[in-house]
Structure 1
Amino acid sequence: MAVSTEARSIVRAAFGGRCGYCGVSETSVGGELEIDHFHPLAAGGSDDIENLVYACTACNRFKGDYAPAHDAPESLRLLRPQRDDFGAHVEETVHGRLIGLTPRGWFHIQRLHLTPFAMPLLPYWRLIGPCSGRDPAGALRPSARALRRARAYSYTAA
């Protein structure tokens, strides 16, 4: 069943015209984004507003109809926009590289192919996601732990 125009407008407004997975804006891609079913219709999802995510074409394609089994570990689940605290799972370095702080964060980055060239995510997720209680300005400065992980990843990936 197709998503109604009214539901599409509600979802678009709820996400502020940005992709719920990577944060890219309509302005950056030159037009409206797509509606994604977080829990795919093929896996029993619905057209309820709570199940809809405003998504760019890339994230929508990379996510596809992915739906982990009900008993799958947390590390195989995508971060759910507007529900999960993105900053608790992913951190952005000063160079724009995303670092997974948890196995679930790493999975989200890998599944959606989020690269250093993706739009900066943390400021966007801080605006729409649950409040983590940290200073939003501090979210842009990577922690010493994130920098150590980035250096270790750079050495092992080479």
Structure 2
Amino acid sequence: MSMSKIVRAAADIIFVFILTFGFYIVAHGHLTPGGGFQGGAVIATGFVLLIAAYGSRALLDRFGKEWFRSSEALGLLVFIGTAFVALFLGATFFANWLANGGLIFGEAVAFGPNPGDLNTGGVIPIMNIAVGIEVLGALSLIVLYMLSGTEEGA
């Protein structure tokens, strides 16, 4: 059962802000408190808002459980893949092989107060993004499976 048009319109607007804030938390996880888990949980909360406004059937018609399963698997593969790349480069497992390399996320951090440069952190931002994708999929699936036991979600 879905809510009124006013609730659905408000949910559509708020959903955009929730996604933006969640992606902000993921992207700035190596600079500020937060990171992949926290940002992924915020993004999953946006999908829970859509479930509350439209119902789980509408969300499953739009995304499907397979989309969330794929999201969870992709996040795990990117996380572990990033760790294995270090082995192929001759470093230890989970070594920060991008740090101070000048490539993406490879800028050296200046001494003194943190200027908030997103292009730092080496593999840590990549792992934050991977964890965010995984947590988004996992928490959304948990909510959908919990709803599958209800009359509306059956």
Q: Is this a same-fold pair by TM over 0.5?
A: no
Query: Does 1 or 2 have the higher relative contact order (CA < 8 Å, sep 6+)?
Result: 2
Per residue, is there more strand in 1 or in 2? 1
Per residue, is there more helix in 1 or in 2? 2
- Choose 1 or 2 for highest CA Rg: 2
TM-score (normalizing by structure 1)? 0.24
